[in-house]
Amino acid sequence: MFAACDEMPQRSISTSGGVAYEASLDAFRDGFVVAWHDMRDGNPEIYIRVVGDQGVPVGPERRLTDDPQRSFEPDVEVVGNDIALAWYEVTEAGSLAKLGVWVSDGTPRWVQTVSATGGNGRNPVLLASGRKMFCAWIEHDGRESAVWGRWIDLDGSALTPPQRLAPAGETTWNLNAALDAGGNPWVVFDAPVAGGLDGTAELFLVRVDDDGSHVEQLTETDGAVSAYPDIALGPDRAALTWFDERDGNREVYLAAVGYDEVRAGIDLRATRVTRTPGESVGAHVAWSGDQIGLVWSDNTEGRHEVYFQRFTAAATAVHAPQRLTINSAASLIPAIEPAGAGFALVWNEDIVEEGRPHGEGGHSEVVLTVVP
C-alpha cells in the first residue's frame, strides 16, 4: 500500500535532549526557518533555526523567549528580512496569545500581546502580506469561545482593532489559515455544532475582508467528528484537509475546489485519502505550482509514522502514499511548505514513554526533509 522514501535524508533540526515539539516552517532566503517550542531548560520556550534549501542547518538554534511563562505552539512567517512568530504563553492566571518580530540572529525587534487580558488567548496563527501581518487566535472569556483576529504592521503598530470573527468551542484546539489571491485571510477550524451528537465537531471557515467576517460551515452535521482542518490557497483554488470519523475510524480527507465552491460545502467534493486500520491524523497541505502536497501521521504500524502524498489540482493522486519514517519513535505533528517543485516537511520524533506526559521522562526532537 505504501511506497518508501528512503532516498530523502532527514535532518535533525533541534538538539534539545528534552522535548522539542510542534514545529512550524516558512521559506526564508535560500532555505527555510523552523520554529518550535522546547523544554531543554525545564520550561517551554520558543526556538528557531535557519536551514538551507536541502534542509541542512546553516546556523545555530536560537532561543527567542526567556521568561517564567510557558511558551507553546509557535507559528512562523517571514516578513521581509525578518522573522515573525505567533505563539501563546501560559501562566497561573491563564493564557495569552503573543506576537513578535526578530532579526534572523535572534535579536528581538518587538513583542506584544494580541489577546485580551482574562480572555485566555491561545493557538494563534499568523499570515504575512507585504509589510503587514494578520494574526488570528482563540479566546475564551468565561462565557464563550471565539475566533479573534487583527491586522498589524511590521513595526508592531495596530492596523485594525481586535475583531471577533466567529464563534468557536471549548474543544476548538487549533486554527489554520491562508491568504487568498486578493490578500484576504481565510481561517479554518473545527467547533461543536447545534444538533450534533454530544457536541460533535464540524469544520468551519471564516473569511475576512473589508466588509467584515463571513462564516460558513464546511462539513454537514452528520453525528461524526470532523476535526483539525488545514487550508492552502492557490491563485483560484483552495485545498483543504482534515480527519473525519464518518466511517467509524479517523481517516484523512482532501478537497480541492474553486474559491466559490468552498462556500457550498466540501463533503461531496472530498477525496478519502487513507484506508487503514489505524488512526490517520495531523494532516497538513500545501501548493507547489499546480500540485498539492499532503502530509499526515498514521499509527497502523503500532506507533505513528509520517506519510506523504502528491495530488493534482483536482485532488487526483499522483502516486501512492509514501512512508517517510520507519523507527521506534512516534512521528507526529507534521508541517509542510513548498520547496521549489517539491515540498519541505518537518515533524517531531517523539520518544516520550507511553502514558507519560512531556517533561516527565523521554524526549522528542524536530526533523526536516525535502521531497523533490
> What tens digit of pLDDT does each residue of 286-329 get?
999 999 999 999 999 999 999 999 999 999 999 999 999 998 88
In whole angstroms, what is the distance from residue 92 CA to residue 159 CA? 31
Q: Using one digit for the tens of pLDDT, what is the confidence trace for 86-114?
A: 999 999 999 999 999 999 999 999 999 99
DSSP 158: B
Of 133, 126, 99, nearest to 113 by C-alpha is 99
Of 307, 26, 282, nearest to 173 by C-alpha is 282
Count helices and strands in the chain by DSSP H and E runs:
1, 29
> Is the Cβ–Cβ distance between 159 and 145 less than 8 Å?
no
> pTM for the full model?
0.95
Region of poorest pLDDT, from 122-131, 157-166, 350-359: 350-359
Tell which CATH architecture fits domain 3-371: 6 Propeller (2.120)
What per-residue confidence (pLDDT) applies to 87?
A: 98
In whole angstroms, what is the distance from residue 208 CA to residue 86 CA? 19
Grid cell locating 351: 520518544
User: Phi, psi at residue 198, to the nearest 5°?
Assistant: 50, 45
